[in-house]
C-alpha cells in the first residue's frame, strides 16, 4: 500500500503501520519534502490543582513552581498561562465537575440532564481534526485511563456523557475514550485490513501469533529496498513493536483469566499510562493521527494514588475537598506532580522523535493540559491551571510563564487553533484571540 509513502506492511490480512523511511521516497520527492503537519494533543486532569504550588511566582523566563518543576527537562518546552477562566463551565446549581468537564474543550454551557437530551458544543480537537487529519488514517484518537459509558447521571444531575468525555463531534455526540491498551493496539496495528476474514482473525488469535509474524514476508521484501540506515530503523521499530505487543499481552493475562463480572486487573495505573503513551507516540510518529485527546481520569475521579506514594490515603476527589488542611495539600501536591510527570513523559518521547525534515515531533506539536476547575474545594472556574508544551511549528514561544488575567479560555483556544493552522473567527464565549507573545 502506498499513500504518499509506503505506510504499511501486510500479510494474511494483517497490517502494520510504518515510521517514515526516506528510502521509499522518490529522489525528487526527498529533495522537496512538503511542510510537516501540525499535531494537537489535549490532555485533561480532574479535580483541579493545588494552585499555590502550581502557579509560578514570576512571569517570563526562569519561572519555577513546586508542581510544574516536575516537567524536568521539558520546562524549556513549556508555556505556562495563568489567569484564564472558563465561565461556561459553571453549573446550574451544583455539579461543577460535570458542567466544567463538559465545557472543558467546548467552552459551552451544557444542558443539565441525566437523560438523552444532552446538549454541548463542538470541542476544539474536533474542529482541528478534519483540517489536520486530512490524509491521516484516523482523524482523531480519544484516549483515557478510566473510560466508561455515557448514559445515566454521574454528577449532581449531570450526565456521564459530560464527565467521561472531553471530545465532542456535535451537540449530542461525545466521542468515547479508549482506555484499554490492548484495544488501542489492535485498532492502530493489528487486524486492521478490511480484507481480513473472520477465519484468518480467529486463526491468528488461536495460534497466539504476533501480528508481526503475519507480515514477516512483506517486511523481508521491503528490507532489500531500503538504505542501510532505514533498514536499521525498520528493524529497531519492528523489534520495539514486538516488545510492546508482548508487554501488553503479559499485562493483560490476569484480566483474561478473571472470573466473569470482575473488573479487569491486568494493568496497574502506571503501566497502563506508559503503554497508552507508547501507543500514542507510535500513532503520531507513523502519521496515523494528528489529533488526540487524553483524560488522565474522569471528572470527579476518586482514584487512589497510593501507587505513587503509600502515604496518600483516600481518593483524589475527597482529597481535593481539602478544607485548608495542610496534610491534604501535601497529598494533592504528590498527585498533581504525578500528573505533570505523565505529560512530561509524552512531551519527552515526542521530542526524541525526529521527522523527515529533521525537526522534533514536539516542535511540530502542541500539547495542552488543564482541569475543569482550579481549586477542588471551592470549585472555582477562574484562574485555571494551564500549560502548553511544544512549538506548533514555531507559532508558540515556550520557556515562559505569562499571565492573561480574566480572559476567557476560549480566547486561548482560538489562538491554539490558529497555531496549528485552523482559523476560526470565534469559539465558545471568546472575545478575540489570546496574545501568546
Q: Which of 3-7, 50-54, 216-220 bottoms out in mean pLDDT, i.e. has the lowest?
A: 3-7
Which residue's entry shows cell 519527552?
348
Cα separation of 180 and 67, whole Å? 28
In-domain check, residue 433: no
Same domain, 275 and 383: yes
Same domain, 364 and 290: yes
In-domain check, residue 289: yes
Q: Which of 206, 228, 255 is the last residue of a domain?
A: 255
How large a percentage of the chain has pLDDT more than 90? 68
Cα separation of 190 and 183, whole Å? 10
Model pLDDT for residues 266-296, shown as the tens digit of each residue:
579 999 999 999 999 999 988 889 999 999 9
> How many domains in the chain?
2
Is the pLDDT reported for residue 363 higher than 50?
Answer: yes
Q: In this predicted structure, what is the pLDDT of residue 205?
A: 53
Could you tell me which of 84, 88, 101 has the C-alpha nearest to residue 166? 101
Q: Summarize the confidence of residues 357-371 as an average pLDDT.
A: 93
Model pLDDT for residues 163-192, shown as the tens digit of each residue:
999 999 999 999 999 999 989 988 887 544
Q: Summarize the confidence of residues 250-261 as an average pLDDT.
A: 42
User: Roughly what angle, to the nearest 10 degrees, separates helices 228-251 and 269-285?
Assistant: 150
Same domain, 308 and 397: yes
Q: Which of 135-149, 188-202, 263-277, 311-325 bottoms out in mean pLDDT, i.e. has the lowest?
A: 188-202
In-domain check, residue 429: no
Is the pLDDT reported for residue 307 higher than 80?
Answer: yes
Q: In this predicted structure, what is the pLDDT of residue 3?
A: 39
Same domain, 233 and 171: no
Q: For residue 248, report the phi and psi dihedrals to the nearest 5 degrees.
A: -65, -45
Model pLDDT for residues 33-52, shown as the tens digit of each residue:
556 789 999 999 999 999 99
Max distance between CA atoms of the chain, in angstroms, equals 66
Q: In this predicted structure, what is the pLDDT of residue 5?
A: 42
Same domain, 135 and 211: no
Q: For residue 144, report the phi and psi dihedrals to the nearest 5 degrees.
A: -175, 180
Is the pLDDT reported for residue 409 higher than 60?
Answer: yes
Q: In this predicted structure, what is the pLDDT of residue 134?
A: 86
Same domain, 11 and 109: no
Cα separation of 156 and 148, whole Å? 17
Range of the domain at 295: 37-180+264-419
Same domain, 19 and 93: no
CB atoms within 10 A of CB 334: 16
365-399 CB burial, b ≥16 within 10 A, e <16: bbbbbbbbbbbbbebbbbbbbbbbbbbbbebbebe
Give the three-class secondary structure for 180: coil
**What nine digits make up the cell of 146?**
478510566
Give the three-class secondary structure for 315: strand
Q: Which of 218, 233, 255 is the last residue of a domain?
A: 255
Model pLDDT for residues 80-100, shown as the tens digit of each residue:
999 999 999 999 999 999 999
What DSSP string describes 110-122? ----SSS------
Paired with 174 in beta bridges are: 168
Same domain, 163 and 307: yes
Same domain, 133 and 281: yes
Is the pLDDT reported for residue 206 higher than 60?
Answer: no
Q: Which of 11-20, 219-228, 265-274 bottoms out in mean pLDDT, i.e. has the lowest?
A: 11-20
Same domain, 115 and 203: no
Q: In this predicted structure, what is the pLDDT of residue 259?
A: 32
- Read off the pTM: 0.84
In-domain check, residue 188: no
In-domain check, residue 435: no
Q: What is the mean pLDDT of the chain?
A: 86
Is the pLDDT reported for residue 262 higher than 80?
Answer: no
Is the pLDDT reported for residue 258 higher than 60?
Answer: no
Is the pLDDT reported for residue 10 higher than 70?
Answer: no
Cα separation of 103 and 168, whole Å? 10
In-domain check, residue 148: yes
CA torsion 120→180→48→159, rounded to 10°?
A: 30
Same domain, 121 and 11: no
Same domain, 152 and 220: no
What DSSP string describes 374-407? S-TTTT--SS---EEES-GGGT---SEEEE-TT-
In-domain check, residue 19: yes
In-domain check, residue 175: yes
Cα separation of 132 and 341, whole Å? 27
CATH of the domain at 80: 3.40.720.10
Amino acid at each position: 500500500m502506498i499513500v504518499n509513502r509506503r505506510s504499511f506492511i501486510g500479510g494474511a490480512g494483517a497490517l502494520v503501520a510504518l515510521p517514515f523511511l526516506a528510502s521509499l521516497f522518490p529522489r525528487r520527492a526527498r529533495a522537496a519534502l512538503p511542510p510537516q503537519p501540525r499535531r494537537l494533543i489535549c490532555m485533561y486532569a480532574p479535580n483541579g490543582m493545588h494552585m499555590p504550588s502550581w502557579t509560578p511566582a514570576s512571569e517570563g523566563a526562569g519561572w519555577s513552581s513546586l508542581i510544574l518543576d516536575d516537567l524536568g527537562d521539558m520546562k524549556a518546552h513549556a508555556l505556562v498561562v495563568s489567569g484564564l477562566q472558563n465561565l461556561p463551565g459553571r453549573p446550574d446549581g451544583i455539579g461543577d465537575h460535570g458542567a466544567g468537564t463538559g465545557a472543558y474543550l467546548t467552552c459551552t454551557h451544557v444542558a443539565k440532564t441525566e437523560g438523552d437530551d444532552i446538549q454541548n458544543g463542538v470541542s476544539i480537537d474536533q474542529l482541528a481534526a478534519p483540517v489536520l487529519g486530512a490524509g491521516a488514517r484516523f482523524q482523531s484518537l480519544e484516549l483515557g485511563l478510566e473510560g466508561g459509558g455515557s448514559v445515566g447521571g454521574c454528577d449532581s444531575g449531570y450526565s456521564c456523557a459530560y464527565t467521561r468525555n472531553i471530545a465532542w463531534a456535535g451537540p449530542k455526540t461525545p466521542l468515547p475514550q479508549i482506555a484499554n491498551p490492548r484495544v488501542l493496539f489492535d485498532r492502530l496495528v493489528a487486524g486492521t485490513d478490511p480484507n481480513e476474514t473472520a477465519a484468518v482473525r480467529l486463526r491468528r488469535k488461536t495460534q497466539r501469533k504476533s501480528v508481526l509474524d503475519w507480515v514477516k514476508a512483506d517486511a523481508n521484501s521491503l528490507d532489500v529496498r531500503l538504505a542501510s540506515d532505514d533498514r536499521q530503523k525498520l528493524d529497531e521499530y519492528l523489534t520495539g513493536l514486538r516488545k510492546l505487543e508482548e508487554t501488553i499481552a503479559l499485562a493483560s493475562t490476569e484480566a483474561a483469566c478473571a472470573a466473569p463480572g470482575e473488573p479487569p486487573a491486568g494493568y496497574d495505573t502506571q503501566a497502563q499510562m506508559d503503554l497508552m503513551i507508547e501507543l500514542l507516540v507510535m500513532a503520531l510518529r507513523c502519521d496515523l493521527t494528528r489529533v488526540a485527546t487524553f483524560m488522565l481520569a474522569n471528572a470527579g475521579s476518586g482514584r487512589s494514588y497510593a501507587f505513587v506514594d503509600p502515604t496518600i490515603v483516600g481518593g483524589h476527589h475527597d482529597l481535593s475537598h481539602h478544607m485548608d488542611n495542610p496534610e491534604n495539600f501535601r497529598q494533592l501536591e504528590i498527585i498533581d506532580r504525578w500528573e505533570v510527570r505523565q505529560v512530561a513523559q509524552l512531551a519527552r518521547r515526542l521530542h526524541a522523535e525526529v521527522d523527515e525534515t529533521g525537526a522534533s515531533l514536539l516542535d511540530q506539536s502542541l500539547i495542552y493540559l488543564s482541569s475543569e476547575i482550579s481549586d477542588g474545594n471551592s470549585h472555582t472556574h477562574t484562574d485555571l491551571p494551564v500549560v502548553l508544551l511544544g512549538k506548533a511549528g514555531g507559532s508558540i514561544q515556550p520557556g515562559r510563564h505569562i499571565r492573561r488575567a480574566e480572559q476567557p479560555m476560549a480566547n486561548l483556544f482560538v489562538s491554539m487553533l490558529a497555531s496549528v493552522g485552523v482559523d476560526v473567527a470565534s469559539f465558545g464565549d471568546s472575545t478575540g484571540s489570546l496574545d501568546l507573545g
